[in-house]
Amino acid sequence: MNFFNQIKMNILISSILAIITLAGGEKIAEVDVVKKLPEMHGDKFYYFGFGSNMLAKRIHVQNPTAVIMGPALLKDYRVDFATPNKLWMGAGATIVPDPKSQTWGTLWEIDLSNLPDIDNQERVHVGWYRPQTVQVEYNNEKIPARLYVIVDEPEGNVHDMPPNEVPEDRQPSKTYLKVLVKGAIESGIPEHYVKWLKGFKHNNQTVAEFEERFELQSMEL
């Protein structure tokens, strides 16, 4: 199955799972079609969070069954920011293919009953993000995991731009970036990567509700 067909299959399966969950989530693991996604095993699936979902308190808002596995590494991709998000008052995170880069993130194991919830969180149904299966390195093993990529892939590497040249719509809010940094630290991601995340240009906007909810007041960038 080629790359684009895999994407279509992921979206189709997500829609089917959402319908099944509405009809009775307890039967979700009995559907043969879920076996087509490598990240699924039994009644659970692996998910790789590289953005705000590295933080436990954040992912548990919509995915209460998520259990942390630990830090994992995705090669040949880098984190970037694109598509303004009103909720976070700044650009959201995505990953972009880049053979010279590596992305650290948090590997989670989640019940299949929550798969429609995380799809909804990432706005798959309105074409904001799309699901993708990748191979991440975890404890010296390669694990197939689900992640979400912004449909309108950004051009250029925002991290390499001079701070005064970073477009406003490519800047995350200060609150959002603090969530990423706190999640990375909490997950045990290497210090050099945490420092790299702190180097992104943010728009200095804060979201008071999230600052309190995720206990970010003392988090420094």
Residue 204 CA to residue 195 CA, distance in Å, equals: 18
Of 78, 91, 57, 52, whose CA–CA distance to 178 is shortest?
52
* 138: its two tokens: 């975890």
- State the catalytic residues: 122
Asked if residue 11 lies in contact with residue 124, where contact means CB atoms within 8 angstroms, the answer is yes
Asked if residue 85 lies in contact with residue 164, where contact means CB atoms within 8 angstroms, the answer is no
Buried b (16+ CB within 10 A) or exposed e, 26-35: eebbeeeebe
φ and ψ at residue 13, rounded to 5 degrees: -65, -40
- SS3 (DSSP) at 151: coil
- H runs (alpha helix) in the chain: 3-24, 56-62, 115-121, 174-187, 191-198, 208-213
